[in-house]
Structure 1
Amino acid sequence: MTNESGGVTNPVSKLLSSLKIDGYILALIGMVVLASILPVHGQVAAVLGVVVKLAIALLFFLHGAKLSREAVIAGITHWRLHLTILAFTFVMFPILGLAVSKSGVLSPTMAAGMVFLACLPSTVQSSIAFTSIARGNVAAAVCAASASNLLGIFLTPVLVSLLMHKTGGAGDWKSIQDIIVQLLLPFIAGQLARPVVGGWIEKHKPLIGYVDRGSILLVVYSAFSAAVVGGLWKRVSPLELVTLLVVCGVLLAVVMIATTLGARALGFSKADEIAIVFCGSKKSLATGVPMAGILFPGATAGVLVLPLMIFHQIQLMACSILAQHYAKRPADDVTDGVQEPSAAR
Structure 2
Amino acid sequence: MAVVRDWLNRSPIDGFILAILAAVVVAAFLPARGDAAEVLDWVVKVAIAALFFLYGTRLHPREALDGLKHWRLHATILTFTFVVFPLIGLAMKPLVEPLIGDDLYAGMLFLCLVPSTVQSSIAFTSIARGNVPGAIVSASASNIIGVVLTPLLVVALMSTEGGISVDGGSILEILGQILVPFIVGQLARPWVGPFFARHAKVTKYADRSTIVLVVYVAFSEGVREGIWSMVNAGQLIAVTLISLVLVVVMLMVTRWVPQRLGFSREDVIAIQFCGTKKSLATGLPMATVLFAGSTVGLIVLPLMIFHQIQLILCSWLATRYGREADAATA
Structure 1 166/199 Cα, relative in aligned 2: closer, same or farther at 3 Å?
farther
- Residues 292 and 304 of structure 1 are in contact (CA less than 8 Å); yes or no, is this contact kept in structure 2? yes
Structure 1 213/137 Cα, relative in aligned 2: closer, same or farther at 3 Å?
same
1:308-343, Cα deviation, whole Å (9 max, x unpaired)? 111111111111111122113355977xxxxxxxxx
Q: CA deviation at 1:212?
A: 2.1
Structure 1 229/86 Cα, relative in aligned 2: closer, same or farther at 3 Å?
same
SS at the partner of 2:100? coil
* Residue equivalent to 1:242: 237
Does 2:115 align with 1:116? no
**Unaligned stretches of 5+ in structure 2?**
none
- Find 1:195's aligned residue among 190, 195, 199: 190
- Residues 155 and 166 of structure 2 are in contact (CA less than 8 Å); yes or no, is this contact kept in structure 1? no
Q: How does 1:24-173 map to 2 (within 5 A)?
A: 24-103=16-95, 104-166=98-160, 171-173=166-168
1:67-116, Cα deviation, whole Å (9 max, x unpaired)? 22222212110101110001100001111112223313321111000000
* Residue equivalent to 1:4: none
- Residues 101 and 112 of structure 1 are in contact (CA less than 8 Å); yes or no, is this contact kept in structure 2? no
Q: CA deviation at 1:166?
A: 4.9
Q: What percent of counterpart residues are identical? A: 51
Q: Which moved more, 1:112-121 or 1:217-226?
A: 217-226
Does 2:304 align with 1:309? yes
SS at the partner of 1:328? helix
Structure 1 329/174 Cα, relative in aligned 2: closer, same or farther at 3 Å?
same
User: 1:247 is aligned with what amino acid?
Assistant: I
CA distance in 2, matches of 1:97, 1:197: 40
Question: How does the TM-score come out when normalised to structure 1?
Answer: 0.89
**Unaligned stretches of 5+ in structure 1?**
1-6, 335-345
User: 1:114 is aligned with what amino acid?
Assistant: M
Structure 1 72/164 Cα, relative in aligned 2: closer, same or farther at 3 Å?
same
CA distance in 2, matches of 1:147, 1:155: 11
SS at the partner of 2:13? coil
Does 2:177 align with 1:182? yes
Q: CA deviation at 1:63?
A: 1.1
User: 1:260 is aligned with what amino acid?
Assistant: R
Structure 1 27/331 Cα, relative in aligned 2: closer, same or farther at 3 Å?
closer
Q: How does 1:287-326 map to 2 (within 5 A)?
A: 287-298=282-293, 300-326=295-321
User: 1:46 is aligned with what amino acid?
Assistant: E
Structure 1 13/332 Cα, relative in aligned 2: closer, same or farther at 3 Å?
closer
CA distance in 2, matches of 1:21, 1:80: 36
Number of aligned positions between the proteins: 323
1:152-194, Cα deviation, whole Å (9 max, x unpaired)? 0011011111111259xx9521111101111110111111111
SS at the partner of 1:39? coil
- Residues 226 and 298 of structure 1 are in contact (CA less than 8 Å); yes or no, is this contact kept in structure 2? no
- Residues 22 and 313 of structure 1 are in contact (CA less than 8 Å); yes or no, is this contact kept in structure 2? no
CA distance in 2, matches of 1:131, 1:274: 6
CA distance in 2, matches of 1:102, 1:71: 43
CA distance in 2, matches of 1:41, 1:68: 42
- Find 2:273's aligned residue among 268, 273, 278: 278
CA distance in 1, matches of 2:275, 2:231: 30
User: 1:174 is aligned with what amino acid?
Assistant: G
CA distance in 2, matches of 1:14, 1:221: 24
* Residue equivalent to 2:205: 210
1:275-319, Cα deviation, whole Å (9 max, x unpaired)? 000000010011011110110025522221111111111111111
User: 1:36 is aligned with what amino acid?
Assistant: A
Q: Which moved more, 1:234-243 or 1:38-47?
A: 38-47
User: 1:140 is aligned with what amino acid?
Assistant: G
CA distance in 1, matches of 2:191, 2:50: 16
User: Which structure's residues are more often helix, by fraction?
Assistant: 2
CA distance in 1, matches of 2:322, 2:40: 44
RMSD value over aligned CA atoms? Answer: 2.0
1:122-149, Cα deviation, whole Å (9 max, x unpaired)? 0111111111110011111111111101
- Find 1:251's aligned residue among 239, 246, 253: 246
